[in-house]
Structure 1
Amino acid sequence: MQSIPGLSARDVVGRGFEKIANGWAKIVPTAQNQLVISALTVVDHCRFSATARIQS
């Protein structure tokens, strides 16, 4: 994967998750939206934890 100077892969993925969460906020009721955002945060954290372990 090529990198863009000043922008890490983690930044790009984080922005992607933020866009998904914002998209859900527009179509899903507030209570359900919070569950989706929480789930995306957990998935994001687990993926980066696994990536860090693999790279170690």
Structure 2
Amino acid sequence: HYLKLITNMLKNFKNVTNFLSKNYKLQLMYNCFFNFLNSKQDKLNDDIEN
């Protein structure tokens, strides 16, 4: 279940990356992405613990 979710997330990220890389600095994008991943990971950890 989580694997499918992560796979879809990465596909979406690839699409978004292709789109945004034409408009924004790559580093900023990766920072946003990893912040997003961290928040999702924290949420997953909370869900698993509870």
For the pair shown, the structure with the greater C-alpha radius of gyration is 1
- Structure 1's unaligned 5+ residue stretches are none
Moved over 3 A (4+): none
Distance across 2 between alignment mates of 1:13 and 1:47: 11
Query: Identity over aligned residues, as a percent?
Result: 12
**Bigger proportion of residues as helix:** 2
Offset at residue 54 of structure 1 (A): 0.7
Q: Match for residue 19 of structure 1?
A: 15
What code does the residue aligned with 1:44 have?
L
Distance across 1 between alignment mates of 2:34 and 2:18: 13
- TM-score when normalising by structure 1: 0.59
Distance across 1 between alignment mates of 2:28 and 2:41: 20
Distance across 2 between alignment mates of 1:22 and 1:37: 12
- Structure 2's unaligned 5+ residue stretches are none
Offset at residue 36 of structure 1 (A): 1.7
Query: What is the Cα-based RMSD across aligned positions, in Å?
Result: 2.0
